[in-house]
Structure 1
Amino acid sequence: MKYNRVLIKLSGEALAGDQGNGISGEILNKISSEIASLQKTGCEIAIVVGGGNIHRGVAGATSGMDRATSDYMGMMATVINSLALQDALERRNVYTRVLSAIAMQEVAEPYIRRRAVRHLEKKRVVIFAAGTGNPYFTTDTTAALRANEINADLIMKATKVDGIYDKDPMKHKDAKKFDKLSYIEVLNKDLKVMDSTAITLCMDNDMDIVVFNMFEEGNIARVVQGENIGTVVTKKA
C-alpha cells in the first residue's frame, strides 16, 4: 500500500443515493463493503461523514433560521449518519468507534485526539461525528482538521464523479477533468471541491487530497494502493 493511514470524507448526500434524502440501505451496504475490504489489508481508516441528506446548516440559514442553530442541527445529522455507518460496518465484523465533537456519551465516545490515534493503531475504523463541534465550519474543514490531527497520509474525498472538473460534468458534456491540481489552482479557479478553509488548511500542512468516484467498485482500494484514480490536489501540480 502507498498509504497506511487515510481519512475518507463522505458526503451526506452520497448516503441518500437516488432517493435524494435520508439513508439508502443499498448505498450504505456498498460503502461499508468497500471499507471492510480495505480494512482487511491493514490500512488504518478514519471517516468523516456529512449530514446533507438530513439537514444542511447553510440551507437552513438561507430560509431564515439562525445560522448557528442550523449548523448545530447539521452536526446532529452527521451523528445519525455516523451511527448508521457504524452499524453497517459492524454487521461486517469491522470493529468501529464513533467519536463525537459534541458530548453524547450514550451513543458515541467524546473526541480525544490521542484516543482516536490509539483506536487507529488497534485497526479500528474511526468515524468522526458532529463536525468540529462549532458552527460556521463545514465537514470538509472537519476532514482537513482531523486528517492533520491524526497524521493521516491522505484525504480521500469520495464523490459521485471521477475527479475534479472545470464545471459540473453532470450538466456540461464539454467539462474538462483535471488529473492533478495545486491547492492554489483549486482556490484561484474556485472549483469548490472543498471549501476554502479546508483547502487552505491542507495547503499549510502539505496534506494531499484525492477526489474520486466512490461508486465504482474497488476504487477506494485502488487509491490506497497508489493507482492514478480521480484527481490529486497537492502542493505542486
Structure 2
Amino acid sequence: MAQGRYNRVVLKLSGEALAGNMGYGIDPSVIQSIAKQIQEVVELDVEVAVVVGGGNIWRGMAGSAKGMDRATADYMGMLATVMNGLALQDALETEGVPTRVQTSIEMRQVAEPYIRRRAIRHLEKKRVIIFAGGTGNPYFSTDTTAALRAAEIEAEVILMAKNNVDGVYSADPSVDPSARKYDQLSFLDVLKEGLAVMDSTASSLCMDNDIPLIVFSIMEEGNIKRAVSGDDIGTIVRGNQ
C-alpha cells in the first residue's frame, strides 16, 4: 500500500465548496467527488478528520449583519454544519468508507457528541471523523474549529480546501489580475498582511501549536491526495519561515 507523507490530517471544507456551482445547498455530484477523494487518502493509510463549514446553508455573520442576535445566528450556522456533516457521511459510506460524525452540540439521535479520546480511537481504527457543530460556541468560526481540533487530536497538518482559489494570493485574484500567488508563507505574514486565509484566532492557534496549513483548490479531482502525498500544490503556511 502506498503511504502518504502525513499520518493524521484535518481536512477543512467550506460549506460553499459543497454547493458547487449552485451557490446554495448541497450539490450531490460535488459531495460525491469529495467523498471519492477522501477515500483515495484513506487508502494511503492516512487517518482523516474533516471539519465542515455551513456557509452554503447559513452564515452567522450575514444574519448578524441584518440585525439578528449574533449568538443566535452563530448557533444556526452550527446546525448548518451538522447537515453538511451528515450529507458527507452518507457520501463517504456510499464509497465504503467507515465514518463517524461528532458534534460539539449534542444531538445523539443523529451523531456522537465530541469526545477527544473517542475521536482519536476512531481515527486509529481508520474511520473518518467529521467534526460538526463548530466549537460549540458562538463567535468562533469553523476555521478556528479546524485549528482547535487539529491541536486536540495531534494532527500533523490542516488541509484547507478552497473552491474558488488554488492557494494564497496577495489580493483577491478575481478582482485584481496582478495578485501574486505565494508558494510559502508564515502565519506572522498572514496576520501582518491581513491575508484572507483563515481568521486571526485560527491562525494564532496554528502558529502557537506549530500546525502547518496547506491551502489548495478542491475543484480539481485528486488534489486532496496530492496534498497528503507532499506534492508541490497550493500554498503552505508554517509557523516560521
Give the TM-score band, short-chain normalised. Answer: over 0.9
**d(CA) in 1 for partners of 2:16 and 2:223?**
19
**d(CA) in 1 for partners of 2:221 and 2:73?**
35
2:155 to 152, 155, 164: 152
RMSD value, Cα: 0.7
Provide the residue aligned with 2:81 in structure 1.
Answer: 78
Shift of 1:207: 0.5
2:133 to 126, 130, 139: 130
Report matched runs for 1:32-43 at 5 Å.
Answer: 32-43=35-46
Report matched runs for 1:1-237 at 5 Å.
Answer: 1-160=4-163, 161-237=165-241
SS at match of 1:53: coil
Shift of 1:176: 0.3
Cα deviations by residue, 1:141-183 (Å, 9 ceiling, x for unpaired): 0000000000001000000211000111122221100000001
**d(CA) in 1 for partners of 2:100 and 2:211?**
24
Cα deviations by residue, 1:83-133 (Å, 9 ceiling, x for unpaired): 000000000110000000000000000000000000000000000010000
SS at match of 1:171: coil
> TM-score when scaled to structure 1?
0.99
- 8 Å contact from structure 2 (residues 206, 239) kept in 1: no
Shift of 1:139: 0.1
SS at match of 2:31: helix
SS at match of 1:155: strand
Shift of 1:216: 1.2
Cα deviations by residue, 1:171-203 (Å, 9 ceiling, x for unpaired): 222110000000100001100210000000000
**d(CA) in 1 for partners of 2:15 and 2:239?**
28
**d(CA) in 2 for partners of 1:102 and 1:27?**
27
Count matched residues: 237
Q: Which amino acid aligns with 1:205?
A: N
Cα deviations by residue, 1:5-30 (Å, 9 ceiling, x for unpaired): 00000000111111110000111111
**d(CA) in 2 for partners of 1:2 and 1:236?**
20
- 8 Å contact from structure 2 (residues 104, 134) kept in 1: yes
Q: Which amino acid aligns with 1:64?
A: G
Stretches of structure 2 lacking an aligned partner (at least 5 in a row): none
Stretches of structure 1 lacking an aligned partner (at least 5 in a row): none
**d(CA) in 2 for partners of 1:35 and 1:156?**
12
Q: Which amino acid aligns with 1:233?
A: V
> TM-score when scaled to structure 2?
0.97
- 8 Å contact from structure 2 (residues 17, 218) kept in 1: no
- 8 Å contact from structure 2 (residues 167, 235) kept in 1: yes
**d(CA) in 1 for partners of 2:209 and 2:156?**
11
SS at match of 2:159: strand
Aligned-pair identity in percent equals 60
